[in-house]
Amino acid sequence: QLDRIEEGMDQINADMREAEKNLTGMEKCCGLCVLPCN
The 10s digit of each residue's pLDDT in 1-38 is 788 989 999 999 999 888 887 776 666 655 555 555 54
The answer to whether residue 38 is domain-embedded is no
What pLDDT is recorded for position 10?
A: 93
Q: Which domain holds residue 29?
A: 2-33
Number of structural domains found in the chain: 1
pLDDT for the residue numbered 8:
92
Predicted local distance difference test score (pLDDT) of residue 19:
84
Based on C-alpha coordinates, what's the Rg of the chain? 13
Q: What three-state secondary structure class fits 24? A: helix
No. of H helices and E strands in the chain?
1, 0
**Domain annotation covers residue 16:** yes
In a domain, 15, yes or no: yes
pLDDT value of residue 11: 93
Please give the DSSP secondary-structure letter assigned to residue 31: G
Is 7 within a domain? yes
